[in-house]
Amino acid sequence: MKHKLLIVDDDEEIRTQMKWGLASDYDIILAEDRASAVAVFQAERPLVVLLDLGLPPLPGDPDEGLATLAEITAMERLTKVIVITGQGEKGIALRAVGAGAYDFLTKPADMEELKVMVRRGFYVAGLEVEFRQMQNLISGNTFEGMMGSSTAIRTVFESIRKVATTDAPVLLLGESGTGKEMAARAIHQGSARADGPFIAINCSAIPETLLESELFGHEKGAFTGAHAQRKGRFEIANGGTLFLDEIGEIPLALQVKLLRFLQEQFIERVGGRQSIQIDARVVTATNADLRKSMLAGTFREDLFYRLAVVQITLPPLRDREGDIRLLAQFFLQRFAAQMGKAGLSFDQEALRALDRYHWPGNVRQLENQVRRAVIMAEGKRLNIRDLELSAPSGTPNATLKDARENLEREMIQSALKKHTGRIAPAAVELGISRPTLYDLMDKYGIAKE
């Protein structure tokens, strides 16, 4: 489908010439004055407008053209208005740019230059529209810091909403990188404890000999090196939520103390005899099969049923249809903004690779690979090499369209390298025009020297 291009000029001959020169690439819409231009724009919403500033009833005065510019940009700020002015009116053209015009061209307009400018206008407008659509999509698909629109993750969101308003213990299940800690935070934020502390601890990251003290605290002199009394994570989480990740790694001796807390809401510090009452909700998580651990005798059955009053399974990223691109675009925007690389986008090959990939590391892996791609990117379009992705074994590597695009990219890069980045001789060697080469460079994210 061709892009719509609005040409606004009171001279019928000029309108005809422009239409003749541009009709092969665009769906041309014509207007001859301010009223018709505004009416047509409101109905068709083209992304690029060619606007002559000298419009009736006073074609020798730019005010009518500037008023048309103001009305169009007020209706849609993403539209790129290219102003056409007479010779010696650069000051007026700059005034128009200051009022919101994308660029300007002086009469008589060179058709090749005009085509390049229009193409660039559509390219920039397209990027901005894509960005706005993604922002709207993201804003409508977030839940307490979690993101997704798939049925699988929406089911998780609904479960979190229901359980958050209670004080029931929750066991979060799922592969590494699926967002179990984010889900725990969402439960906390949706609860009456939201103003209290959220304390997270990874039970597998702390040596077994130190884990008891880390969780329950210790008294001065309880063991060598205990020079002062110290509160544990349970006490710190009082009035809030304690999140125990990798709960399956807790040794049996500590499982007894955790079970006692869940039953009685009391703890004792290591080396202490005083029972301390704690008001903390416990949310746990694991990527292991606790039922197998129970059969093996390494996890208490009574503790499991205390912890798993409610179980929520976080789906792997590969099972969240449509969420891979949503999350990838979100991470791209965030990291591009952080690194001062605004305007980055994925090329089509990269998007297909993102969809094909198995993502064994789930959302965490996706986030890290997008971050790396933003760091390494040289052009405006991130490609499959930036992401360090390849098709899974046994999967066809590319469609015919993929192969053609890969060949085009390689030939363009080779020609530019041969001619040290000079566009004109590279275009001649490739047998295409300079505007076409610019367009292809934009498409494939090839940086201009």
Q: How confident is the model at residue 141 (pLDDT cuts 50, 70, 90)?
A: low
Residue 392 is predicted with a pLDDT of: 42
The CATH code of the domain that includes 66 is 3.40.50.2300
Q: How confident is the model at residue 423 (pLDDT cuts 50, 70, 90)?
A: confident
Q: Which tens digit of pLDDT belongs to each residue from 389-414? A: 754 433 444 456 666 777 777 788 78
Same domain? For 277 and 339 the reply is no
Same domain? For 310 and 387 the reply is no
Q: Which domain holds residue 269?
A: 150-315
| pTM, 2 dp | 0.59
The CATH code of the domain that includes 408 is 1.10.8.60
DSSP 362-402: HHHHHHHHHHHHHHH--SSEE-HHHHT--PPTTS-S--HHH
Alpha helices in 110-231 (DSSP H): 111-139, 151-164, 180-189, 208-216
Structure tokens at 302: 């009574």
Q: Is 141 exposed, middle or buried (0-12, 13-18, 19+ CB in 10 A)?
A: buried
Is-contact 93 111, C-beta < 8 A? no
Same domain? For 202 and 163 the reply is yes
Distances in Å between the Cα of 149 and the Cα atoms of 141, 143, 300, 365 are: 6, 10, 37, 19
Q: Which tens digit of pLDDT belongs to each residue from 281-300? A: 999 999 889 999 999 999 99
C-alpha dihedral over 302, 303, 306, 310, to 10 degrees? -110
Residue 408 is predicted with a pLDDT of: 79
Same domain? For 156 and 248 the reply is yes
Q: What is the DSSP pairing of strand 48-52 with strand 198-202? A: unpaired
Q: Which tens digit of pLDDT belongs to each residue from 171-194? A: 999 998 899 999 999 999 999 999
Residue 397 is predicted with a pLDDT of: 45
Sign of the C-alpha dihedral, residues 282, 287, 291, 296?
Answer: negative
Q: Which of 93, 111, 139 is the last residue of a domain?
A: 139
Structure tokens at 311: 């179980």
Q: How confident is the model at residue 137 (pLDDT cuts 50, 70, 90)?
A: low
Q: Whole-angstrom Cα distance, residue 144 to residue 149?
A: 14
Same domain? For 83 and 48 the reply is yes
Instruction: Examine residue 145 and state whether it is found in any structural domain, yes or no.
Output: no
- Please give the biggest Cα pair distance in the chain: 97
Same domain? For 130 and 216 the reply is no
Structure tokens at 109: 């307009």
Q: Which of 315, 342, 374 is the last residue of a domain?
A: 315
Q: Which tens digit of pLDDT belongs to each residue from 236-256? A: 999 999 999 999 999 999 999
Residue 429 is predicted with a pLDDT of: 81
Q: Which tens digit of pLDDT belongs to each residue from 318-375? A: 999 889 998 998 899 889 888 888 778 898 888 889 988 888 889 988 999 999 899 9
Residue 394 is predicted with a pLDDT of: 37
